[in-house]
Structure 1
């Protein structure tokens, strides 16, 4: 755990003191699960379930806030079982899938989801031609129901391919009233208007949170970081955690704490659990 400044250390101490009112927001990929070439194999860190169950006893609420479809995140994270354990602590686990467009909780075990955005099916039909023209026809296309993700990780130069695709994909998305969300060697196309910042505010309002910790790793987490910043300006104790990597540095300068991938996230949250328990003892 590396604080980016003395202010970060002070914010952590404030959050520990307020822990019983704090909500925890966690991205999935790169935070609870390692980044892998095949998104379908990105299982949750083996220690994450126990850690979340222990942490739940010390805080107001925990939410996984991810760009993944909710059903996929539930399966890869074993989150229904984790939700059972958190329920035993008298708390609730929330899941906000597809940037908050989908909702699930351990109390209401039903995924609530809107219809796919207008234009997405036509975008998908036109996408292969755009990939061929950009020399990225071997990119992996992931259909997510409410979005389409184009992964370049399997290509010979993933970063260059993502940069080469950004313009053409942006033009195609705009033609169908969609937006492009860049990530770690992935470009996701979805409807505008919903992002992780909205999910953060929704969670705060629903559980009456008196503080917030958010851990992210990628550009898709920038809006969540910004919303947590607004919560801090409103007087709530907050902590911004960057799960660092060599691939993506976008959140480092915004974070209070930088940790080394999912292993570092687990370690930080275990430390928070212990410190919060000591304050309450």
Structure 2
């Protein structure tokens, strides 16, 4: 296969459109990551916003079909960035939301993480690492570091000393710290499908913390990776379909509205 040939189909191609039609006719739960999916990645997490075209379309869909936002952000943080009310918001990569009350052991694990990181905060800030404490998780961002390679190496050395009570995983210019046994995004979406009594699910995400959903999705779910669909990226993603980037999410939502048909009149 040519290295740039798509290894999975584009969701807006014929195969993807047929899969969308089947999914939307099957009483689905529609679940979306936020950063890098509904909102483009930006230099500072506080600057992230959904484009108006995405927000307006998703709001119309959420009025007709149960929608979940499943994000690494804190629930309160992402809620203020939405112009509509989804059925569910799950935060901290699955550890915070309607199906996961923080267990005492998770609270204790995050206290361990804060105590462990505290002596290193000055050093991390000096090399351009931003520590974002989201209560149920901590993110260490190095996107704005003057020397990203140095910041990444420094973080990797530090994170190798993490307590067994913690789970550390990477992302786009970030390392995330969560309690070792907290639910992940796959646990959250599976629980929401059961809670909703949905016939199937659609999940759209872009990063490593979305892969558990792609990997554990039942065969009848529809999973979409926001990012290149090349052979190289396919080796790292279990999603069935792809979008080229967040700029195509509004087109995906348009297609979903088309398959849903006219809204019922009141």
Match of 1:263 among 244, 247, 250: 247
Cα distance in 2 for partners of 1:45, 1:183 equals: 22
Runs (5+) with no aligned partner, structure 1: 84-91, 106-110
CA distance 1:11–1:126, shift in 2 (3 Å): same
- Segments of 5+ residues of structure 2 without an aligned counterpart are 1-5
Change (3 A) 1:65 1:13: same
Checking the alignment, whether the CA contact within 8 Å between 2:10 and 2:242 is kept in structure 1 is no
Q: Name the CA distance, whole Å, in 1 between partners of 2:153 and 2:204.
A: 26
C-alpha distance in 2 between matches for 1:267 and 1:42: 20
Among residues 42, 49, 52, which one is paired with 2:48 in the alignment? 42
**Residues in 2 aligned to 1:155 and 1:12: alpha-carbon distance in whole angstroms:** 41
Q: Distance in 1 between matches of 2:10 and 2:172?
A: 29
Distance 1:272 1:3, change over 3 A: farther
For residues 122 and 203 of structure 1, do their structure 2 counterparts lie closer, same or farther at Cα, with a shift above 3 Å needed? closer
Structure 2 partner of 1:4: 8
Larger RCO (alpha carbons 8 Å, 6+ apart): 2
Partner of 1:89: none
**TM-score, normalised relative to structure 1:** 0.77
**Contact between 1:219 and 1:251, CA under 8 Å: does it hold in 2?**
no
The CA RMSD over aligned residues, in Å, is: 3.3
More helix by share: 1
1:185 is the counterpart of 2:179: no
Superposed, which structure 2 residues align to 1:142-221 within 5 Å? 142-158=132-148, 161-174=151-164, 177-193=165-181, 194-221=183-210
1:13 maps to 2:18? yes
1:240 match: 223
Shift of 1:131: 6.4
- Measure, in 2, the Cα distance between the counterparts of 1:154 and 1:245: 23
Q: How far apart are residue 11 of structure 1 and its match?
A: 5.5
Quote the offset at 1:52 in angstroms: 1.1
Aligned equivalent of 1:53, options 47, 51, 59: 59
Q: Distance in 2 between matches of 1:214 and 1:251?
A: 19
1:72 aligned to 2:77?
yes
